[in-house]
Amino acid sequence: MKKTILALTIPALFATSASAVTVYSDEGAQVDIYGRVQYEAGEMKFQNGVKANNFGGEGEARLGVNMKYALNNDVDLIGKLEWQVVAEGDDATGSDSLDARYAWAGFRFMDTTELTFGRSQDPYALVMYQHDIFNVFGAQTSYGSLGLIDDKADDQIRVGYANNGLDLRAAYAFADADKLDNNEQKENQWSVAAAYTLPMGLGFGAAYEKQNWGNLGIATDDTDVDAWMTSVNYAIDGFYIAAGYTQQQLENNAVDVETEGYEVTATYNVDAWTLLAQYSKEETEIDGISGDFDSVDAVTLGAQYDLTAKAKLYAEYEINDDDADRDDRYGVGIQYNF
């Protein structure tokens, strides 16, 4: 998981990149550009889901554009485009790739309420990001071993409100994959999330998501996925701690899989150094099979050193003790934001 340390607190719904540079501003119109370049190396992924890859590296670059045009004192037109290029990949193909991370447009009302259309952040991420704060690993339980929860969604209509520590979000996604009309891919999904942070630094969050799929080739009827998560966090001085609990279920007339897990995350920042630690545990139960098994049981440790306000070095190590007997992993990296 690759969120920056800026995600230690719940991000403001409408915040732009801390490194964004305004390249155009005239008569109510504004265009900001931001980006990132990084290189990471180590045994960061798995072969066949169990054995860690051999040592390898991966370079990435991102470029984003935020756009705003003031229609009047209360309403702005807004938009966001962000692309990512992955090169020297240690994935199965090893090919370079260009992906659109965000592509949406919409309206902002009274600097508190947003209505957007396109590929945007899933409301569920509001709570996941309280734990997805490592640069390479982490947040295994928050995303879940089913592999069906993501922090972004295509074809999404999203509304959000953020003011005075309160953050509310809701969205409905039409899911591009179903446009093939083969009834074997995701048809749609909807999600809601809420968070509130007290002035003293204590925060609470909850999120729910419902996904509707086709038969996935394993059933004669549609597959439903339900996921919900709650989390509490506290930040004071250089300390941050968060504790989360989550449940997920995949169900159709052929299979019923349920997961239950928790995640505890802690960081400490002093001067240019940040130390990170996380414990992730998830148990999975499959209907018709006796007993649960540990699908996630991991300790993740990390250290980060800020070279400047926009550049950092980091190293992370993941210790796995789940029932799949997965290898430990490690990764080091350098990142520059502009």
The ranges assigned to domains in the chain are: 5-337
CB contact burial 70-86 (16+ within 10 A = b; e otherwise): eeeeeebebbbbbbbeb
Whole-angstrom Cα distance, residue 8 to residue 247?
23
Whole-angstrom Cα distance, residue 80 to residue 62?
13
β strands within 71-213, DSSP E:
75-87, 97-109, 113-121, 152-163, 166-173, 186-197, 202-213
Q: Are 264 and 277 in contact (CB under 8 A)?
A: no
Mean pLDDT per 10-residue segment, the chain (338 residues)? 39 50 88 95 88 88 95 95 78 61 96 96 97 96 94 95 96 74 71 96 97 77 92 96 97 90 97 97 89 94 97 97 94 96
Q: Which two tokens stand for residue 220?
A: 């004669």
- Burial of residue 218 (CB within 10 Å: 0-12, 13-18, 19+) is exposed
Whole-angstrom Cα distance, residue 132 to residue 125?
9
Backbone phi and psi for residue 6, each to the nearest 5 degrees, phi listed first: -65, -15
Fold (topology level) of 5-337: Porin (2.40.160)
CA distance readout (Å), 26 to 69, 70, 104: 9, 10, 22
Backbone phi and psi for residue 141, each to the nearest 5 degrees, phi listed first: -75, -35
For residue 195, which of 148, 143, 130 has the smallest C-alpha distance? 130
Tokens 């990764």 correspond to what residue?
331
Q: Are 79 and 106 in contact (CB under 8 A)?
A: yes
CA-based R_g, the chain, Å? 20
Please tell me the pTM assigned to this model: 0.88
Q: Which two tokens stand for residue 231?
A: 């989390």
Whole-angstrom Cα distance, residue 286 to residue 133?
30
Q: Are 143 and 264 in contact (CB under 8 A)?
A: no
CA atoms within 13 A on the CB side of 61: 7
Q: Are 209 and 188 in contact (CB under 8 A)?
A: no
Whole-angstrom Cα distance, residue 99 to residue 89?
14
Could you tell me which residues come within 8 angstroms of residue 289 by beta carbon, excluding any fewer than 6 positions away?
Answer: none
Tokens 């052929």 correspond to what residue?
254
Whole-angstrom Cα distance, residue 163 to residue 304?
31
Q: Are 202 and 234 in contact (CB under 8 A)?
A: yes
**pLDDT for the residue 4:** 39
Which residues is 213 bridged to in the sheet? 186, 223
**pLDDT for the residue 7:** 37
